[in-house]
Chains A and B, each alone.
Chain A
Amino acid sequence: MPPSRSAAFRAWAKTQQPSDWFDGELDSATAIDLDPLRRFDLQATFLHRIRRRARILAQLRANLQRPVPGRQALEWRLWGLVGIRPLADRLVREVTNANSRTDEALLTLADFLIVLREVDYQPIDGALPKAQFKTIFSAFLKELANSLNPKIQENSNHISKDAMDFWERVLEQCRG
């Protein structure tokens, strides 16, 4: 059965369960964790959200710094389906669609740009030379910053002044 139909079937089956149906979690034999600290979930807090994203961004930066065979490969990393540009667009959508956390979403986008700005390419023999990387990447970053800004400005009335000022300073750095 193709995956999509399988998933649909599971979703339908769940709606058909009677109230006293076997409950996997209730009857599971999973050991109960007695460590009180582990049972105290902090993952949803602001601090932990920021930390999680920081780790993802660090990984992204590490990937960009890896040697790339040539111009085309670099462009794929930047513009490709799972590249930087689609990710940036997604982060912008988060800003424009955010209901109550617009500032946080903008700060995440700004953080994303800061991390990109600090990419330090590490070539090896046979890979794209550093100078070429810099030329392509700087142009990309400048263009990215310029193209994202109008969408942010459109939503600036939902964003605090401090966050907007911060965003402007980050843009300046990317353009420079």
Chain B
Amino acid sequence: MPRLSVYNPPTDLVLGTRLNASVPEADQIRQRAEVDEILRRLNNQPGVILADEVGMGKTFVALGIAHSVAIRSPHGPVIIMVPANLIDKWEQDLKKFCELYLANRHIVNRATATSSDLANQTVVRYGIARHSVDLMRLLDDPPRERCHFIFVAQGAMARSPTDKWIRLYLIAEALRRHGRGKANRLIQVKKRIHHFLAELLWAIGEERAHQWGEELWRALLQTDPTVWLSIYNKAAQDDRRLIDDPVPKHIIRAVGRIELAALAEALKKMPVRARGGNRRITERLNATREVLRKVERNLWKEVLTQTRWRSPLLIMDEAHHLKNPHTLLARQLQSPELEQDLRTGDGAMAQAFDRMLFLTATPFQLGHAELVRVLERFGDVNWDQMPSDGLEQFRIQLSDLAKHLDDSQRTAIALRRSWEKLRPEESSEDVDAWWARLRQSRREELSHHQAAAVDAYEAAKRCRDAAESELQPWIVRHNKGTYWADTDIPRRRRLDGATIAGQMQSGGLPIPPEQLLPFFLAARSAVDPGKDLLGEALCSSYEAFRRTRKESDASKDEQDEVVPADLSHSQWYLTEFDLALERCTGLAHPKIAATVRKVVDLWESGEKVLVFAFYRRTCRALRIHISQEIEQRVIAAGQHRLEMAGQNGSSNDVQRLIERIQQRYFDKAESAGRKALDRTLAEILMELSASIEEAQITEDQQQLLIEVMRRFLRVPTTLVRCFPITELDSIKPTEAIARTINFADGSGVTWRQKFGGFIDFLTKSCSSEERKETFIWTRLDQSRPAEFASKMRTRMPMSIPLVSLSPMCKLRLERPSAKLDLVSCGLLTRHFFPTFWFAAK
């Protein structure tokens, strides 16, 4: 394979060579080493999987590689395919990456770039394509203005284009081709159609963006789409001007090859004057739209099969989605084999890329066969630049790899089995010494089981080494250490089944006797293979079971054998189930009860908790039950503290006490308590004034930070644990505040330390862009809570510390984006956010 210079890091990439304070130095150095190593491998092979654990900076490594390749490659932009809901995160990370790791470069979004931006040699241009047409437009640009990176939403290519400009072009072209000669009706339509175009194209309001009115449509219909940009911009108001040709060249070429007679036929039936009432006109428009949709689908097939474009590199985020070659995403990369099998998006990117870089923290979940299937996608690169037998050699390599991985797993299972056969008298307590002795012993000195274990070990090791050697070129992976940095706290502790409830037995949580009946009835009502999800839902929560039962569209479980129909008499059982459940609250469900207890125990000791559940209903139930449990424990904790001080109090007394503290120390701005609190919080900022100054945080913004810190202290959950509540009437305000913010939680961390860590994070680790977002969000929360909540659900910046949230706000992150939730929570829980997150997978 010829050596390609694009696979060398450029000098302006200073990741790891010019260290900064925002990211731990060790991480920067490792990330640079990964960039260098992956580029070296890409020089010789079609692709690499970067499989670092979550939170190790895969994004920065990928951007380092993308920049290295994009800046030098003559073959189009680097394509970064990411799940649609992560595009904003990537865009934000790109800004941070440029600020931290690119010397003398700045980035511009192609959509907002000025002509001087585009002419600037030091800019890095990027674009965002949420739809296939966006991508086509971006690929069209001349090399001088073309994006270096394009972020493409993973579903973009699988959707047929529904773009008004392309529809307009199809109509114009159909009228041009068929509206002449003796086609009197169509010629009439051609003259009048501009009256109805806005409605036909779903572009009502478009004509208000300029002064031309319907005349603009007429002008566009009579000209070639290559000049539409200038025609439209002459008429358009400044904020509605186009920045790129509205119809990509690939589309123009493809339209030339498709049949438009059906569309022309439909257009004949379009009204030429507004007669017959609105209903009649709408009917005709709908009929034409329907035909237009069919033509668009044909157009897209033509575009996919005929358009050839090229990119030096595909970066695929969340690449484990490729493990099934039959999914829409995977089919986009493969060359379609049969025309009749073609679905929208199939083959859209087949052989378009010179190389591929896949990002995934979980390269496989159920077995290494998934990993091999992901690797197979590297076979879809453009092999033209490689040796003639490159693809064949690649397939042989993968086949060998699959075989070695199988052997490795098989021998590992055999080793486990032979190990399990060893009797107590055949082993020893000092396992290491015993094993070393065993391996050195002569064969005749070993028992049958010992010899079998030694043989199995040798075979397993040999096969594992062989598999590792085959796998090594394709994967780069770094794991986090066993312990949290600079501590002896294990990073991971696994509690299976019943152990979450503190029970020692292995296996699942037992069903309490008083709940056996509802479990039995629910299980009995769900014995059909097609209703297996009901069983799973039942094991999750009663709420999930009820919901799943209502939906009752569970898919078939192929593992169950076929059973006679109607064996469950489900209605009788379900009626009995409802009766039985009336006596059991959702909280009584063994898994819910154990989870609520564990979560609130952890919370009570000051820990932060992230709860994942498969079912959204279970998430919702947990949120409710945990909130209720916390409310009860807050009161109980308050009563306990009063009791310890020799004072008795009812739950009402505790609530009143908390309200008094809130008034004296938080709500009345002129009270001595509030003044003492603000003084102390200002002192914390003062101690970090150097960082605050360096980060250019204004006076106003500092006041916002104080407001945020105050809110965290004001909530009952903080007050009841940290504030000297029993001494409210006797203690001096300064002393009360000092004791509150110096109160250490279960991990030995005080509020003062948490606030310090938060400000440190904000000033040193966040980029200026992230800081800006943070303060925008803080204000948003204060003034427009509804808007904040809506923004929170749709677009949450990943790296901001969410200072604006109060600790007890009920977050609803119930959407299928485990990655987003996990990463957010990783960042948040590391820094400041002492509450619960519920994420439905």
Q: Which A residues fall within an 8 A CB radius of B?
A: 19-23, 25-27, 32, 34-37, 39, 45-47, 50-51, 54-55, 57-59, 61-62, 103-104, 107, 111, 114-115, 118, 160, 162-163, 166, 169
Contact = CB atoms under 8 A, between A and B. Distances in A.
B583 interface: yes
Contact of A118 (B406, B511, B569, B583): B569
A104 B366 contact: no
A26 B514 contact: no
B320 to A, nearest CB: 15
A59 B421 CA distance: 39
B818 interface: no
B291 to A, nearest CB: 47
Which 5 pairs show the lowest CB-CB distances between chains A and B? A58-B567, A20-B448, A50-B523, A54-B527, A162-B517
Contacts of A59: 564
Contacts of A162: 514, 516-517, 580, 583
Contacts of A114: 569, 572
Given A23-B421, A55-B563, A166-B576, A107 B517 contact: yes
A28 to B, nearest CB: 10
Nearest to A170: B576
A34 B406 CA distance: 8
Contacts of B426: 19
A20 B568 contact: no
Nearest to B447: A20
Contacts of B448: 19-23, 26
Nearest to B569: A118
A19 B424 CA distance: 12
B704 interface: no
Q: Which of A37, A57, A62, A166 has the most CB of B within 10 A?
A: A166
A47 B516 CA distance: 11
A35 to B, nearest CB: 7
B527 A166 contact: no
Contacts of A103: 513, 516-517
B513 A26 contact: no
Nearest to B452: A26
Say whether chain B's binding surface is mostly helix, strand, loop, or mixed.
Answer: helix
A111 B524 contact: yes
A160 B513 contact: yes
A54 B567 contact: yes
Q: Which of A22, A37, A55 has the most CB of B within 10 A?
A: A55
B160 interface: no
B520 interface: yes
A103 B519 CA distance: 12
Interface of B: 366-367, 406, 409-410, 413-414, 417-418, 421, 423, 425-426, 447-449, 452, 508, 511, 513-514, 516-517, 519-520, 523-524, 527, 535, 538-539, 559-560, 563-564, 567-569, 572, 576, 580, 583
Contacts of A111: 520, 524
B523 A166 contact: no
A22 B560 CA distance: 36
Given A103-B517, A107-B520, A58 B564 contact: yes
Nearest to B539: A47
Contact of A20 (B418, B449, B563, B567): B449
Contact of B538 (A22, A27, A47, A58): A47
Given A19-B447, A20-B449, 6 more contacts: A47-B539, A51-B527, A103-B513, A111-B520, A162-B516, A162-B583
A26 B367 CA distance: 24
Given A57-B567, A118-B569, A162-B583, A47 B535 contact: yes
Q: Which of B410, B513, B517, B576 has the most CB of A within 10 A?
A: B517
A103 B572 CA distance: 19
A104 to B, nearest CB: 6
Contacts of B513: 103, 160
A32 B410 contact: yes
Given A22-B448, A47-B538, A114-B572, A55 B527 contact: yes
A39 B413 CA distance: 11
Contacts of A23: 421, 448-449, 452
Given A51-B523, A162-B583, A166-B517, A34 B423 contact: no
A34 B539 contact: no
B225 to A, nearest CB: 53
Contacts of A61: 567
A93 B212 CA distance: 91
A55 B321 CA distance: 37
B133 to A, nearest CB: 41
10 contacts: A20-B449, A23-B421, A34-B406, A46-B511, A46-B519, A47-B539, A54-B524, A59-B564, A111-B524, A163-B517
Contacts of A27: 452
B520 A104 contact: yes
B338 to A, nearest CB: 30
Contacts of B572: 114
Nearest to A59: B564
A50 B520 contact: yes
